[in-house]
Amino acid sequence: MTLLDSTFKQRSGKKALIPFITAGFPHPKMTVSLMHTLVDNGADIIELGMPFSDPMADGPVIQKASEQAIKLGCNLALTLDMVAQFRQDNQHTPVVLMGYLNPVESMGYEDFVKTAAEAGVNGLLLVDSPPEESADLQTQLKQHDMQQIFLVAPTTSDSRKAFICQQAAGFIYYVALKGVTGSADLNPEVVNQEIKDLKRYSDLPIAIGFGVKDAASAVAVAEQADAVVIGSALIQVLSDCTTSEQAQQKAADFMRPIRSALDSL
């Protein structure tokens, strides 16, 4: 059983909370301590964004975070190094890398997967590498017990849902809305119905993201889902932090109400 699998199993019905932060934002030296803060304040899994120059599925907040991280010298190798550092003090919280294919392809699948596995990465979510295009990558991932997370969107057809669910591992990431990350108008009723429907195709846990921004919206969409991902709103809170202490404080303040709201469900 992988760390992702056992993490969800241990939650046994309780909603998991998955914060997303961009590696290297607001500054590369803050990322590892931020990851620990997130865990201390209720994160069950951490999604770590791999900054990319052309994040075409992201809204303005994560775009800017990526740009800033790259400017400050953050790259894929450094991101993997951050995970390795985090793992020195934490062996129990799964880390899922999220981003785009080109930096991974540039490093080479074999090198990337090997280094990531050694660093302690558990899952990989590549926005622009759908199951159809992921066969070679999957071969490498399987050798190192890393799981590739796939997205399902509101526009995904039934036959495609079945196909994706067959390939999926770890959990399924349901994109809550037609739009980019951090968009506004979520309709919880529709989302809950969609997730209920998605469960017909897979027994894997389902996480919901894109458009969840606070305790209220997290609770509203968590009715059917097993986990909630929050990214843009957290990045926004961190954006004007200039010290690690400040960033940790803000992250903790942001996480706590969401954690307790989810726990009250």
Q: Which is nearer to another protein, 18 or 65 (CB)?
A: 65
Among candidate residues 47, 89, 136, 214, the one labeled active-site is 47
Q: Which is nearer to another protein, 57 or 237 (CB)?
A: 57
Least Cα distance to 24 among 38, 34, 16 occurs for 34
Asked if 44 is an active-site residue, the reply is: no
Is residue 86 within the footprint of another protein (CB under 8 A)?
no
Among candidate residues 44, 58, 194, 226, the one labeled active-site is 58
To the nearest 10 degrees (0 to 180), the angle between helices 76-89 and 31-40 is 40
Is residue 77 within the footprint of another protein (CB under 8 A)?
yes
Rg of the chain over CA atoms, in angstroms? 17
Q: Which is nearer to another protein, 5 or 128 (CB)?
A: 128
Length of the chain: 265
Report how far residue 208's alpha carbon sits from residue 17's, in angstroms, rounded to the nearest whole number. 10
Residues in Cβ contact with 251 at an 8 Å cutoff, skipping those fewer than 6 apart: 19, 34, 37, 38, 41, 234, 237, 238
Q: Of the candidates 70, 117, 237, 252, which one interacts with another protein according to CB under 8 A?
A: 70
99-128: contacts with another protein (CB under 8 A): 100-107, 127-128
Q: Which is nearer to another protein, 118 or 136 (CB)?
A: 136
Least distance in angstroms from the C-beta of 220 to another protein? 21
80 contacts 119 by C-beta, under 8 angstroms? yes
145-164: contacts with another protein (CB under 8 A): 150-157, 160, 164
Q: What is the dihedral of CA 160, 207, 244, 99, to 10 degrees?
A: -10
Catalytic residues: 47, 58
- In the complex, the residues that contact another protein under the rule CB under 8 A are 52-57, 59-60, 63-64, 67, 70, 75-77, 100-107, 127-130, 132-133, 150-157, 160, 164, 175, 178-180, 183
